[in-house]
């Protein structure tokens, strides 16, 4: 595979100050922190209490499967949001979309906290839960993609991996905050208190972060790469017909760049990005969602042990994520992808042996390893590599679609499939096998991808 690495700085003439970069970094971090806090709040609630308060008339195993299914439907909405908001982001700019998505996502999460339960209104309770989950997912479908694009397009090329990893740190911060809140609730509340009112608190408290995030987004400048794109006129991307017209008009746009972007056949970069996404997305659904419920339902560990393990793993992630980002800047994206996916495959069965042992410290060690190597480490690479794979003209749309299709196929379906397989076999080995399969798909994608480190993001064509 041809190496597309270049050490040149992006060709953009639009410059941003250190203050602008700082605002973009904080905005990207906070938005993804909110997204993953919202989704982790939901996933932990689905694993711990939703099966009891929204699906109380079925067996524990079926209730867990139903709760995981409500978790999964949000990923279908995310896909619709990726299409709708991705196209808007490529046409009208990144900033406008990021303001809308944070509003939609945050409002839906807050409203989950005031939902009546099955005991109050019967079947309408899970129906309303699914509706809010769909709205939450619709907004989230472009949130992390937009934050990824914005940070990558702001960052200097030689530090792009490190700065883009702030998106992953945001996901880690959100996961840590949600897991920490749930760990406190599980520690201080009785089962009755948790099921009657305690589960509502995390969703209601997210409203405060929503207000700050909206204020920050409204004061953020547009991506310099979007403003410098040769098919952007007065802040709006030209239509295909307008682009074709511009190719013959001197002074209207950089016709060489436009021709390259218009003539390239699409598809190769998208499928490679989808493969790169698969391992992280699938491993995340298993480690951060399914295993929490599986441990609480099937193993003898205390109910707070899995959430405590996620907290410890997330804390370690504050070292793992920037370290992987810097190593990607130093040694390249492909090298780090290969290293981490091979490690994940090698550790899959040993990690599950640790988790299913009778030792709480061993269980926690297994969760921490699985989270940092197979989830957070890959996410740190994904944040920058997928942005570099795509050209500036359709980067937002393609990146959002790759993330969300990967999410539907892996993160959404994975926990439901794992719940069904473990119930059918009565064993944990399907979980380890799924970790191996997901990681091998990403390994194949990494081996087939070009090295994208340092690529000029103003270029309209994809890297392959």
**What is the pLDDT at residue 11?**
47
Q: pLDDT digits over 210-232, tens only?
A: 888 888 888 888 888 888 887 77
Counting residues of the chain whose pLDDT is more than 70, the rounded percentage is 86
Q: What sign for the dihedral angle of Cα 239, 245, 247, 252?
A: negative
pTM across the whole model: 0.80
Collapsing DSSP to helix, strand or coil, 236 comes out as strand
**What is the pLDDT at residue 70?**
63
Q: pLDDT digits over 166-185, tens only?
A: 888 887 788 778 878 888 88
d(CA 44, CA 179): 8
Q: Does residue 142 carry a pLDDT above 90?
A: no
Classify strands 236-237 and 232-233 as parallel, antiparallel or unpaired. Answer: antiparallel
**What is the pLDDT at residue 5?**
47
* Domains of the chain and CATH, by start: 18-448 (1.20.1250.20)
Q: What's the Cα-to-Cα distance from 333 to each of 30, 32, 178, 184, rounded to whole Å?
A: 25, 22, 30, 38
Q: pLDDT band at residue 71, thresholds of 50, 70 and 90?
A: low
Mean pLDDT of the chain: 83
d(CA 170, CA 161): 15
Cα atoms in the 13 Å half-sphere on the side-chain side of 206: 34
d(CA 351, CA 261): 45
CA 301: distance to chain centroid? 29
Q: What's the Cα-to-Cα distance from 151 to each of 160, 164, 299, rounded to whole Å?
A: 8, 6, 41
């Amino acid at each position: 595979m041809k190496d597309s690495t270049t050490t040149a700085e992006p060709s953009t003439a639009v410059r941003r100050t250190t203050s602008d970069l700082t605002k973009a970094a904080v905005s990207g971090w906070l938005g993804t922190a909110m997204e993953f806090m919202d989704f982790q709040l939901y996933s932990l609630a689905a694993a711990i209490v939703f099966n009891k308060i929204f699906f109380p008339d079925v067996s524990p195993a079926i209730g867990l499967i139903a709760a995981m299914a409500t978790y999964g439907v949000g990923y279908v909405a995310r896909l619709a949001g990726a299409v709708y908001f991705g196209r808007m982001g490529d046409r009208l700019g990144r900033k406008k979309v990021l303001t809308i998505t944070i509003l939609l996502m945050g409002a839906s999460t807050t409203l989950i906290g005031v939902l009546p339960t099955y005991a109050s209104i019967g079947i309408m309770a899970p129906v309303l839960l699914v509706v809010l989950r769909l709205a939450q997912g619709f907004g989230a479908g472009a949130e992390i993609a937009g934050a990824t694009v914005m940070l990558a397009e702001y960052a200097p090329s030689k530090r792009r991996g490190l700065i883009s990893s702030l998106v992953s740190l945001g996901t880690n911060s959100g996961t840590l905050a949600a897991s920490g809140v749930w760990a406190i609730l599980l520690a201080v509340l009785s089962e009755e208190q948790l099921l009657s009112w305690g589960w509502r608190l995390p969703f209601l408290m997210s409203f405060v972060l929503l207000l700050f995030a909206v204020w920050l987004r409204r004061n953020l400048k547009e991506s310099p790469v979007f403003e410098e794109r040769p098919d952007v006129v007065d802040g709006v991307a030209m239509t295909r017909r307008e682009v074709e017209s511009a190719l013959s008009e001197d002074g209207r746009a950089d016709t060489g760049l436009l021709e390259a972007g218009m003539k390239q056949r699409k598809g190769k970069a998208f499928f490679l990005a989808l493969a790169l996404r698969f391992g992280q997305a699938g491993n995340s659904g298993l480690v951060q969602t399914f295993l929490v419920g599986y441990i609480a339902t099937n193993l003898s560990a205390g109910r707070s042990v899995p959430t405590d393990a996620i907290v410890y793993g997330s804390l370690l992630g504050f070292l793992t994520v920037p370290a992987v980002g810097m190593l990607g800047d130093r040694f390249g994206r492909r090298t780090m992808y290969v290293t981490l996916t091979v490690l994940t495959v090698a550790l899959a069965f040993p990690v599950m042996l640790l988790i299913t042992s009778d030792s709480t410290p061993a269980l926690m060690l297994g969760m921490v390893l699985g989270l940092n190597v197979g989830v957070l480490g890959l996410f740190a690479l994904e944040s920058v590599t997928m942005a570099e794979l795509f050209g500036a003209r359709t980067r937002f749309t393609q990146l959002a679609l790759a993330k969300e299709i990967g999410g539907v196929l892996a993160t959404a379906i994975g926990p439901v499939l794992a719940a069904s397989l473990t119930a059918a076999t009565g064993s944990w080995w399907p979980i380890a096998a799924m970790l191996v399969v997901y990681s091998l798909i990403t390994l194949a994608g990494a081996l087939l991808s070009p090295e994208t480190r340092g690529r000029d993001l103003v270029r309209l064509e994809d890297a392959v």
